[in-house]
Copies of this chain bind each other. A is one copy, B any other.
Amino acid sequence: MDENELPRVLQQLWGIEGRSRPGPKPAFHISDIARAAIKLADAGGLAAVSMSKVAAELGFTTMSLYRYVDAKDDLYVVMLEYAFAEPPVLDPALDWRGRITAWAEAFRDGLRRHPWILQIPIQDPPLSPNQLAWMESGLDAFDGTPLAPQDRLSAMLLVNIYVRGTAQLTANMLTEPDEVREADRLYTQRLTMLATPDRFPGIAATLEQPLDEGYAGDFDVAEFTFGLNTVLDGIHTRITRQTP
């Protein structure tokens, strides 16, 4: 393969069809694959997504999928692309802080809608259309700031990492709020048992204090924005340092 050639999946996602050549017409489109796979993943997590199950969902045989997707990993790329869809349109009236906050919340909401996204092993940096659109949207949030392009990239990545990381901590696959509460209760109980104040004073201190919040506890909206603001404060000082 010429190295200038994109992998087949990316070609399909970007709509670079090329030719209408001899041979039967494709019976479906990668978007169909995406829809079927996302449906399965939403229902049963990423583990519920297998080539055969996706194919069965579409009413085709397993091997037919390989006409659209070179390998399982490519299936993940397709799922990601369609699960996130378009990035939010950011209100230009807001300042950078308001804009990147809206962006982060939209990102978080996407992850909350499709928790399996966090389970996808990231192999390559993003190149699909919607992924790039999200990147662009995040970068644009810093329009009007004195940050250089590279610094905007770093800042956006920082927020990106934060959202992913916190989502990872909270939404470990559990969709039912009751399950979350129960798991949290069990965790704090075990932690209390194991992290004795003599050996782990710091951990023990965090356990004494609050009402019901353990480590990966109810990392709810308030806590999300609180942590996010800490990150944004850091970016803020970088900005002000830039313009003395």
A interface residue numbers (CB < 8 A to B): 3-4, 6, 14, 119, 121-125, 127, 132-133, 135-136, 139-140, 143, 148-150, 152-155, 157-158, 160-162, 164-166, 168-169, 172-173, 183, 186-187, 189-191, 193-195, 199-203, 205-206, 208-210, 213-216, 223, 226-227, 229-238
Would you call B119 and A121 a contact (CB within 8 A)? yes
User: Within 8 Å CB of A124, what residues of B?
Assistant: 172, 183, 187
Q: For A201, what are the chain B residues with a Cβ–Cβ distance below 8 Å?
A: 136
Contact indicator B233/A148 (Cβ below 8 Å): no
In contact, A149 and B205 (Cβ under 8 angstroms):
yes
**List of B residues within 8 angstroms of A231 by Cβ:** 158, 230-231, 234
Measured CB to CB, the nearest residue on chain B to A143 is B202
A238 CA / B237 CA spacing, docked (Å) = 12
A interface, by DSSP: helix, strand, loop or mixed? helix
Q: With A and B bound together, what is the CA distance between A17 and B188 in angstroms?
A: 23
Is A150 within 8 A of B194, CB to CB?
A: no
Whether A227 pairs with B150 at a CB distance below 8 angstroms is no
Beyond A173-B123, A200-B136, is A150–B230 a contact (Cβ under 8 Å)?
no
Residues A194 and B158 in contact, CB atoms below 8 Å apart: no
With A173-B123, A202-B139, A203-B132 as contacts: A158 and B209 at CB distance below 8 Å: no
